[in-house]
């Protein structure tokens, strides 16, 4: 049996009905995206609850959640879009942790904010063969005598720069 069509109460003619239908669908997709990003979406039970609350069939609720899922996947591959969604939620959680005196939680949330915001410095250690020093070959043939002397002063431990 097919689900009854969604008919917004404010629809008075074909055009405004279509616009209202799109607006309602968009609001519902946004609601599901927020649930998904918050980790509060459960495929079976959430779809049933939303269908009941929205007054639509489960098939229509699944269609809306599929649209939301596509949007979330797109955001997860776009770091700027992801940050725009996640940063406000992290800030709110950080504010609650600070107000609640949860120092560990605040520190963890602060670290997540730095990482999501692209502000966390990522350090990488580079080693040579078998964990040794990196072998470097320099071509000093293009340097002038003065530049060679300066290089020798800087390369010699304990040498004065005077």
**What is the mean predicted confidence (pLDDT) over 72-99?**
79
Highest mean pLDDT among 53-62, 76-85, 99-108: 53-62
Q: Which residues of 17-41 are buried (b: 16+ CB within 10 A; e: fewer)?
A: eeebeeebbeebbeebbebbbeeeb
What SS3 class is residue 8? coil
Asked if 67 and 75 touch (Cβ cutoff 8 Å), the reply is no
Averaged pLDDT score across all residues of the chain = 81
Q: CB within 8 A of 16, min separation 6: which ones?
A: 10
| 50 pLDDT more than 90 | yes
Q: Which ranges of 38-118 does DSSP label H, i.e. alpha helix?
A: 43-54, 58-77, 79-99, 103-116
How high is the pLDDT of residue 16?
Answer: 63
Of 20-24, 77-81, 128-132, the range with the lowest mean pLDDT is 77-81
Angle at which helices 79-99 and 58-77 cross, to 10°: 100
Supply φ then ψ for residue 152, to 5 degrees.
-65, -40
| 43 pLDDT more than 80 | no
Distance, CA of 10 to CA of 20 (rounded, Å): 7
How high is the pLDDT of residue 12?
Answer: 45
Asked if 20 and 7 touch (Cβ cutoff 8 Å), the reply is no
Q: CB within 8 A of 7, min separation 6: which ones?
A: 17
- Residue 135 DSSP class: P
How high is the pLDDT of residue 11?
Answer: 43
| 2 pLDDT more than 60 | no
Asked if 37 and 86 touch (Cβ cutoff 8 Å), the reply is yes
Between 110 and 38, the higher pLDDT residue: 110
Using one digit for the tens of pLDDT, what is the confidence trace for 96-136?
889 999 898 888 888 878 877 666 777 778 888 888 888 88
pTM (two decimals): 0.42
- The structural domains of the chain, with segments of one domain joined by +, span 1-77
**% pLDDT > 70, the chain:** 84
């Amino acid at each position: 049996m097919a689900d009854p069509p969604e008919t917004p109460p404010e629809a008075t003619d074909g055009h405004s009905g279509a616009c209202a239908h799109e607006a309602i669908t968009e609001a519902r997709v946004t609601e599901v995206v927020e649930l998904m990003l918050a980790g509060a979406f459960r495929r079976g039970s959430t779809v049933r609850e939303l269908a009941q609350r929205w007054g639509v069939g489960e098939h229509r609720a699944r269609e809306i959640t599929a649209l939301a899922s596509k949007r979330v996947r797109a955001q997860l591959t776009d770091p700027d879009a992801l940050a725009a969604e996640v940063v406000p939620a992290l800030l709110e959680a950080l504010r609650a942790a600070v107000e609640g005196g949860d120092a560990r939680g605040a520190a963890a949330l602060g670290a997540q904010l730095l990482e999501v915001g692209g502000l966390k410095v990522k350090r990488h250690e580079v080693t040579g063969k078998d964990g040794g020093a990196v072998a470097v070959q320099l071509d000093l043939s293009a340097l002038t005598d003065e530049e060679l002397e300066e290089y020798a002063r800087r390369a010699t431990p304990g040498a004065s720069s005077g």
